[in-house]
Structure 1
């Protein structure tokens, strides 16, 4: 099983020194990947329910937390490391111009030597979409359209794409990535599982309920098969504690990558390094 760490661009890692120390310590300890999070803005007093907590609020329970842009943070961390993979967990696809985003991701992948893992989602915070002038109602369809456009821009020598929400004809988008950028689809719905089967290289639910996740994994495989893709090439990952018990259950459910958060959230210090090392040795 591969091990990654999430919330990489939060807490003490929003500062340059903390980001470098965190990334280098994780790489030295043998972690496979670091995962960032994204919100361009968090509207004060938002009413949209956060889907991964009982009270409907994001971790930290505050609206004014620092969340650096994930791609810029990853570029900063890439320059200070050499092997660890850098993932978005997640990038909110329908909020971003698809051609500009594809260009930025390809550039980062080339500069980092092919270390980008593109975790994606459709978003949940309606008030954020309003602030950005993006459509919340059709975000699922927009996400699928943009993913197909990304793949065309990264793959084709001269790119043409015609979709409902984005289209372009015979354009060059350079540089192209080192290879196909792995697309990791996040979410705990059948729509997300279908998206993973049709477009993704991996599926990333985080509900913590292994029965629910297994059912979604099976659905993703069926959707991959219907799309003419090999369902056995689809990886499965989740988020949770790095305890032996959880790791054993995750492995039994077919999960191939576990993303956790092992460090102190107040500062990066010797204790945090010790915790990272302990997780890597588990």
Structure 2
């Protein structure tokens, strides 16, 4: 199973240093979260810089809130990032759960799923160079567009994997992950897709001194807001090499292709600790 790292969003100034450390280690992908009403770096801009600072690892939105964006411009941005990274870009997509992001963008929150389906058709047409459409380049590195993963828990989100995507990005706890992944696989086969969807899981990690662990849990609660979900996400954070190795084994047993270890502290040294933990 491949192992990736989620880049911390708390300090933009440390992102490239952390990315370079990860590129020199055993990791396969660098992911980045998306919010609008929050003090986080814009994912596509930041991942373009990360792609330029690295040579090997993939770069991935985890997940990009596509309904907040204009699909024509997004098609151009994603294709550009795919080209300048030499095909190392994965577009992780979701709709999000925060109404404040949608208010700030002037986009209706209630119909975000329907809007996403319309946007996906537009993205695919542009990347494929559909006849009759105004030509919008550059062409992506991969014919038909970059790899697409969908995140989410609702039935509609799981079905989008088979309809539009290449795989599923599961940010659910281990005990929920199995049924979600099996539902994605059933939808995939019912849609007549060949092969199998790529399965990517995500867990929160904080490997380091107590100060760093406390910092990471505070960042998780700040990002997800007040409430039970934020508390649970913080308390589920993996804080020891043994916990991380056990989770790798458990997700491997579920058939996961890649596990993203999401970091919430901006301390670059944690990358070396994680490399030792997964070696």
Q: Secondary structure at the match of 2:255?
A: coil
Instruction: State the alpha-carbon separation in 2 of the partners of residues 200 and 95 from structure 1.
Output: 19
The aligned residue for residue 191 of structure 2 is: 227
Q: Secondary structure at the match of 2:96?
A: coil
* Contact 2:126-2:133 within 8 A present in 1 as well: no
TM-score (norm 2): 0.80
| Displacement of 1:100 | 0.2
1:87 aligns with 2:60: yes
Identify if the C-alpha distance between structure 1 residues 120 and 205 changes in structure 2 by more than 3 Å, giving closer, same or farther. Answer: same
Which structure has the highest helix share of the two?
2
Unaligned runs of 5+ residues in structure 1 are 43-65, 161-168
Q: Secondary structure at the match of 1:267?
A: coil
Instruction: State the alpha-carbon separation in 2 of the partners of residues 126 and 252 from structure 1.
Output: 36
The aligned residue for residue 236 of structure 1 is: 199
* Contact 1:3-1:32 within 8 A present in 2 as well: yes
Cα deviation, 1:89-113, whole Å, max 9, x if unaligned, reads 0100111000100100100110110
* Contact 2:188-2:196 within 8 A present in 1 as well: no
1:137 aligns with 2:110: yes
Identify if the C-alpha distance between structure 1 residues 98 and 121 changes in structure 2 by more than 3 Å, giving closer, same or farther. Answer: same
Cα deviation, 1:111-158, whole Å, max 9, x if unaligned, reads 1101101000012111221121101111111112212221221122xx
1:70 to 43, 51, 71: 43
* Contact 1:190-1:216 within 8 A present in 2 as well: no
Higher relative contact order (CA 8 A, sep 6+): 2
TM-score (norm 1): 0.79
1:29 aligns with 2:30: no
| Displacement of 1:280 | 4.5
The aligned residue for residue 16 of structure 2 is: 20
| Displacement of 1:266 | 4.8
- 5 Å matches for 1:79-228? 79-156=52-129, 159=130, 169-179=132-142, 180-210=145-175, 212-228=176-192
Aligned-residue CA RMSD in angstroms?
A: 1.8
Q: Secondary structure at the match of 2:90?
A: strand
Cα deviation, 1:217-273, whole Å, max 9, x if unaligned, reads 22222222333312x3301111125722111111111111101135x71533xx424
Q: Secondary structure at the match of 1:83?
A: coil
Runs of 4+ aligned structure 1 residues displaced above 3 Å come to none
Q: May I ask how many residue pairs the two structures share in their alignment? A: 239
Instruction: State the alpha-carbon separation in 2 of the partners of residues 249 and 267 from structure 1.
Output: 27
* Contact 1:11-1:267 within 8 A present in 2 as well: no
* Contact 1:90-1:186 within 8 A present in 2 as well: yes
Instruction: State the alpha-carbon separation in 1 of the partners of residues 266 and 191 from structure 2.
Output: 45
1:245 aligns with 2:210: no
Q: Secondary structure at the match of 1:11?
A: coil
